[in-house]
Amino acid sequence: MLAVVAPGQGSQTPGFLTPWLEVPRFKDRMRWLGTVAGLDLVTHGTVSDADTIKDTSIAQPLIASVGMVSLLELFPNRGQALQQVSVGAGHSMGEITAATAAHVLSAEQAMVFIRERANAMAKAAAATPTGMTAVLGGNRADVLATIKKLGLTAANDNGGGQIVAAGTLDELAVLAANPPEGARIRPLAVAGAFHTNHMAPAVKVLANHAKAISTEDSRINLLSNADGTVVHDGRTVLRHLVRQVSHPVRWDLCMQTMLDLGVTGLIELPPAGILAGLAKRGMPGVETFTLNTPEDLPAATEFVAKHGTPSNIKDLPTWRVVLSPIKGVFERICTAEVGTELDENTRIGVVHADGETYPVEAPYGGKIGEWLVADGAEVNPGELIVRLKPGSEAW
């Protein structure tokens, strides 16, 4: 089973776009997305220096656009991708790239969303001097306790002994002077405390923009940074993208869900390397591939052929499906039988996993076509629980 993942801010390096411009149509597509974003992405990806592309308003559109366009080189058409990719995920702003790859958003919608996201986050970061620091190694419980004690937020939990603390520069200075036992401290070159309450003003801005964005349901198992759950409904995906700006990234849980789904191969879109490195530590036995230049495409195609399997979500648009968000035990709450019409957002049941309860809902409602999971059954993430037919259509 194949997963395609998209990196987030901080993965960019000067000139990383240069080799891709030798690919026919690549420059034209980058220029078009740059027009949508209001940036000269070709220049920033080729000649701009490290300080320039570190700017949030440049880094985020640049990374996302290269990921989107390179994906078209690997999968020239949507049908081909659905026959080979089962799982999609992205780290932080990479979630937007992944949502676009899953056709929840169009490329143009994604670029506008990223542009406004980056600008709003930069504005929020300018209000208070904040930053982020990687805490490497140490005892996980001790690291989290120290971060909380100092008033910081564990903004990224990346697994493999890597947790990123975020907060004010004064709070981070105290952390640097008093690191958890056995841990190393590495300040990150970012503009603010992303994925913390310091970004709350940006969430308000994006929530207003999201009201005008139309979505499609994902046709692959799309994972949420919030808790690693599978998200299928397009409107829910968009809500998660808005909310995640001020909430921690749980990449460790995303990797666990990929393991639970049965992923055997993971390919990282450019600028690749960070997520593949985390996977090597956090996903033992899973083969990884970093797609960084056009020269990697032939080998990437072979990698896809080796691990690719069709998506399990095949019933749209005639049917809608409700999926299990995570691995656990399904408790059925809805007692309705086949043929019953459900209202929008009807709670069908819950999944119990590791002491937590995850809701299972039918966002669009519809008539029940078939129950696929029994009450009390063990379910895997992305497993089909019920098929629904839109209520407006005749049986």
Evaluate whether 334 touches 349 at the Cβ level (below 8 Å): yes
Q: What is the dihedral angle through the alpha carbons of 105, 106, 107, 110, rounded to the nearest 10 degrees?
A: -40
Evaluate whether 327 touches 257 at the Cβ level (below 8 Å): yes
Catalytic member of 57, 70, 86, 92: 92
Angle of the 107-127 helix axis to the 200-210 helix axis, nearest 10: 150
Say which residue the tokens 């019933």 belong to: 315
CA distance 9 to 371: 41
| Beta pairing, strands 356-362 & 230-231 | unpaired
CA distance 204 to 280: 37
- Residue 307 designated active-site: no
- Residue 352 designated active-site: no
According to DSSP, residue 394 is labeled -
Both tokens of 125, joined, read 């970061």
Integer angstrom CA distances of residue 299 from 53, 74, 82, 132, 204: 29, 10, 20, 36, 43
Catalytic member of 57, 65, 70, 195: 195
SS3 per-residue string spanning 77-146: CHHHHHCCCCEEEECCCHHHHHHHHCCCCCHHHHHHHHHHHHHHHHHHHHHCCEEEEEEEECCHHHHHHH
CA distance 323 to 111: 28
For 144, other C-beta atoms within 10 Å of its C-beta total: 17
Q: Which residues are catalytic?
A: 92, 195
